[in-house]
């Protein structure tokens, strides 16, 4: 059956703007694209430990599909959520099937009519989609501008104010001054919510994230930890009080009306966290590569074109869909898997190459990558 004309028109417009999204093929190029920062999705150790654990404990015999509130609450959920809560020094953790589900579930159910949500303008689409489903009013503030945030807080008198940010922003790779933000939120009795999707496995002594690295876990109302980046597996968890967990179980629709995970998925999450907890090598290698990347871009005079970042995400601003796509293709022709981020995913004029650094990249690969960038751009 033919697609409706109004939908076809939208596809044609996207195509005419050279911004039509297509599913990529699996690549054997040198990886500077994936979010698998620590290489856990490729870990033979985690893979083998997961399978042996399931066999030893016969957990595969207890699986049943269905919502966790009906038949899908496998015993491994409690084991894994308890481990995650201890790892993050928090009262409770509630697992969702994805970071998108977690953000949509939280923001659509927790802020109520009469409440106020104030969110950074660069917050992820999953946060924005959850806010759209909320009955609370919402306003964005300029990226990392806490003076503007405080003005908005003072201007809008309301029962509860939720302030939302990310510890590492997914497109820019930069981080907010969380200590300053905590001071603002405490001053005005606001509830601080931090999405740590791209900080897990990157910041903290054991990759716990930026909030815990700064010792601010007691000052944050909720943290959203997504496993599909640094942990290399499916799912996410919302961290907070036992009361928050109970509330989400009762009112977060993306939790209530979703089939629970399989025992294998839960065991993979558990063993990825255990590996993160006891093996520092990947963290050390990743951080060393991030330092090397930043040193090389300074030596080559590339720093002005990059967004300032000490995370695993490094973005070079190259305006124009045509130009940035051409340079990305040159990288791919040279053996590097580098992707262009086009408008409207980012604002027009902010098109970019987004480089993701990993523990398994070599120093020589990073040096060659940035030397190639100078050739392609200048």
Residue 267 and residue 290 share a domain: no
Residue 103 and residue 250 share a domain: yes
Q: Is residue 50 part of a domain?
A: no
Residue 77 and residue 64 share a domain: yes
The count of domains in the chain is 2
89 is in which domain, residue-wise?
A: 58-278
Q: Which of 33-42, 63-72, 239-248, 277-286 has the lowest mean pLDDT?
A: 63-72
Residue 101 and residue 38 share a domain: no
Residue 348 and residue 371 share a domain: yes
Last residue within a domain, chosen from 278, 310, 338? 278
Q: For residues 167 and 222, is the Cβ–Cβ distance under 8 A?
A: no
- 378 falls in which pLDDT band (50, 70, 90)? confident
- CATH code for the domain in which residue 364 is found: 3.90.1150.10
Residue 268 and residue 182 share a domain: yes
Q: For residues 353 and 32, is the Cβ–Cβ distance under 8 A?
A: no
Give the per-residue pLDDT at 27. Answer: 76
Give residues with Cβ within 8 angstroms of 284, minimum separation 6: none
For the entire predicted model, the pTM comes to 0.94
Residue 244 and residue 170 share a domain: yes
Q: Is residue 180 part of a domain?
A: yes
Query: pLDDT tens across 217-276, in order?
Result: 999 999 999 999 999 999 999 999 999 999 999 999 999 999 999 999 999 999 999 999
Last residue within a domain, chosen from 278, 308, 336? 278
- Look at residue 80 and tell me whether its pLDDT is greater than 90: yes
- CATH code for the domain in which residue 81 is found: 3.40.640.10
Residue 158 and residue 252 share a domain: yes
User: What is the rounded distance in angstroms from the CA atom of residue 82 to the CA atom of residue 76?
Assistant: 10
User: What is the rounded distance in angstroms from the CA atom of residue 378 to the CA atom of residue 372?
Assistant: 10
Quick one: which of 213, 255, 209, 261 has its CA closest to 234? 261
User: What is the rounded distance in angstroms from the CA atom of residue 357 to the CA atom of residue 367?
Assistant: 12
Torsion of CA 217, 218, 221, 224, to 10 degrees: 20
Query: pLDDT tens across 278-315, in order?
Result: 999 999 999 999 999 999 999 999 999 999 999 999 99
Is residue 7 helix, strand or coil? helix
Residue 197 and residue 128 share a domain: yes
Q: Is residue 90 part of a domain?
A: yes
Residue 321 and residue 259 share a domain: no
Q: For residues 369 and 354, is the Cβ–Cβ distance under 8 A?
A: no
Residue 206 and residue 94 share a domain: yes
Quick one: which of 270, 268, 263 has its CA closest to 64? 263
């Amino acid at each position: 059956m033919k697609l409706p004309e109004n939908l076809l028109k939208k596809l044609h417009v996207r195509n005419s703007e050279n911004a039509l999204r297509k599913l990529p093929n699996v690549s054997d190029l040198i990886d500077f694209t994936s979010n698998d920062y620590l290489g856990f999705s490729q870990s033979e150790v985690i893979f083998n430990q997961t399978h042996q654990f399931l066999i030893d404990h016969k957990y595969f015999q207890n699986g049943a599909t269905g919502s966790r509130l009906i038949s899908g609450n496998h015993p491994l959920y409690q084991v894994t959520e308890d481990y995650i809560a201890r790892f993050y020094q928090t009262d409770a953790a509630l697992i969702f099937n994805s970071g998108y589900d977690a953000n949509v579930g939280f923001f659509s159910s927790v802020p109520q009519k009469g409440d106020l949500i104030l969110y950074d303008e660069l917050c992820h689409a999953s946060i924005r989609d959850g806010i759209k489903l909320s009955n609370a009013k919402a306003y964005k503030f300029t990226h990392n501008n806490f003076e503007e945030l405080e003005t908005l807080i003072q201007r809008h008198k309301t029962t509860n104010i939720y302030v939302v940010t990310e510890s590492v922003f997914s497109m820019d790779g930069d981080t907010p001054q969380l200590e300053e933000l905590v001071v603002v939120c405490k001053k005005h009795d606001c509830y601080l919510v931090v999405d740590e999707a791209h900080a897990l496995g990157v910041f903290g002594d054991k990759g716990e994230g930026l909030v815990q690295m700064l010792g601010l876990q007691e000052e944050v109302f909720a943290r959203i930890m997504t496993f599909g980046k640094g942990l290399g597996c499916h799912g996410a968890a919302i961290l907070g009080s036992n009361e928050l967990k109970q509330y989400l179980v009762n009112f977060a629709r993306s939790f209530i009306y979703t089939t629970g995970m399989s025992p294998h998925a839960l065991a993979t999450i558990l063993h990825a966290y255990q590996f993160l907890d006891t093996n520092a090598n990947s963290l050390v290698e990743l951080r060393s590569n991030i330092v090397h990347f930043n040193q090389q871009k300074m030596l080559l005079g590339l720093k002005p074109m990059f967004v300032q970042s000490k995370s695993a995400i490094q973005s070079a601003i190259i305006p124009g869909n045509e130009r940035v796509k051409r340079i990305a293709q040159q990288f791919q022709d040279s053996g590097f898997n580098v992707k262009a981020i086009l408008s409207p995913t980012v604002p027009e004029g902010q098109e970019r190459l987004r480089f993701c650094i990993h523990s398994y990249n070599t120093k020589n690969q990073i040096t060659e990558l940035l030397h190639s960038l100078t050739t392609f751009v200048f």
